[in-house]
Structure 1
Amino acid sequence: MAGKRILMIVGDFGEDYEIMVPYQALLAVGHTVHGVCPGKKAGDKIATAIHDFEGHQTYTEKPGHLFALNATFAEVDVASYDALLVPGGRAPEYLRLYPEVIAAVRHFFDAGKPVAAICHGAQMLAAAGVLKGRTCSAYPACRPEVELGGGTYADIPVDTAVTEGNLVSAPAWPAHPAFIAQFLTLLGTSISL
């Protein structure tokens, strides 16, 4: 299996687990993952947040780790990447305001390349106008954005994921085993035990 080049667009207060766990898992199986953030360069750090489900009407938020970017957003050529990873958390709500981010997201859909979006990552997909006619899961609070974007919201358990065409999506980090496994399948990754 040849390793793939994966672009991961992140930002301050992105969900810690949704950044770190897929990043490390993809590296562990031989893929290259470049974490980038508009307005920041390789070596800069973003602050992450840990979102937890503790019985309230919505999730709670606690400080996460600092995540070091390993590429510079302004210098990446999206055409040189095989796939896109869009973590959730609060970052997508402002990352979708960058025209360059929207153009990058559209590139992966226009080219039919694998895309993995989890939790609030669907906000970036909706803003890019790529959900029309697609099924997409997301954190339940993002359901209106998926539907207003012309997509069908996949109302699935929080620990599952759904793949339709080149898009794998999931509600939140409890879905990591299914989400990452389905993304690996889209990438053509085979792991023998």
Structure 2
Amino acid sequence: MKRILLLLANGFESYEASVFTDVFGWNLYEGDRTTELVSVGLHSVLECTWGYSCIPMHQLQEIELGDFDALAIPGGFEEANFYEDAFSEEFLEVIREFDQQNKPIAAICVAGLAVAKSGVLSGRTGTTYRFKNNPRQMQMRQLGVQVLSTERIVEDQNIITSSSPETALDVAFRLLEKLTSKENTFEVKQRMGFTK
């Protein structure tokens, strides 16, 4: 069984988390049944971007990072204090640990900034939220990342980053493919109604 750590910062965007729970949930029931997703936060109760509460399955101090095979990180909003957790040393150390072990890391939208802030993307390629007059891609460049600003999704070795919430499902499916197979991912997509 491959275990995925869904790392939630306070202020995370619920849609971006739900794509991971749905894709890996469908794989557990309707796919090859080889993956398990575990939600983890820095607090016992988290506030989502849009104002409701979420209780993660575990707090970070309760788990062993070595028990997990991949890391998934949804983005969030500055107005909801997302960066307080996402840029904390405790959060960034998780990212570094997964990268040191060359384990897959999938970050949606501005979660890519946390990956960049950790230092693991320095000198490598990536992307983050892109929209006219928005500073996020410039911030990522300032963190030493070669930003591919026209790409929806960028994969550099073990790290997947993306440019908006629109990419979320594709990122989750890419992570599933990395952990299982192209054939299994296609089967899960079919069962979820995304392919004919």
If the TM-score is normalised by the length of the shorter chain, which range does it land in? 0.7 to 0.9
User: Deviations 1:132-190 (Å, cap 9, x if unpaired)?
Assistant: 12211210232123212221112136xx3222211111112211232122212222342
Tell whether 2:118 aligns with 1:128.
yes
Partner of 1:14: 12
Taking only aligned residues, the RMSD between alpha carbons, in angstroms, comes to 1.9
Aligned length: 172
The AA in structure 2 aligned to 1:150 is G
**TM-score, structure 1 length as denominator?**
0.80
- Sequence identity of aligned pairs in percent? 23
Distance 1:146 1:79, change over 3 A: same
Tell whether 2:48 aligns with 1:48.
yes
Q: Is the CA contact 2:16–2:165 (under 8 Å) kept in the aligned structure 1?
A: yes
Question: Quick one: distance in 1 between partners of 2:144 and 2:14?
Answer: 29
1:1-193 correspondence runs (5 A): 3-30=1-28, 31-38=35-42, 40-41=43-44, 45-49=45-49, 63=50, 65-90=52-77, 92-140=82-130, 141-156=135-150, 160-189=152-181, 190-191=184-185, 192=187, 193=190
Q: Is the CA contact 1:138–1:172 (under 8 Å) kept in the aligned structure 2?
A: yes
**TM-score, structure 2 length as denominator?**
0.79
Distance 1:12 1:101, change over 3 A: closer
Q: Which runs of 5+ in 1 are unaligned?
A: 50-62
Question: Quick one: distance in 2 between partners of 1:88 and 1:7?
Answer: 15
Whose helix fraction is larger, Structure 1's or Structure 2's? 2
Distance 1:171 1:97, change over 3 A: closer
Deviation at 1:84, TM superposition (A): 0.5
Whose strand fraction is larger, Structure 1's or Structure 2's? 1
Question: Quick one: distance in 2 between partners of 1:64 and 1:175?
Answer: 23
Q: Is the CA contact 1:154–1:162 (under 8 Å) kept in the aligned structure 2?
A: yes
User: Deviations 1:44-92 (Å, cap 9, x if unpaired)?
Assistant: x32212xxxxxxxxxxxxx254332111211111111100011101354
SS of 2:75's equivalent in the other structure is: coil
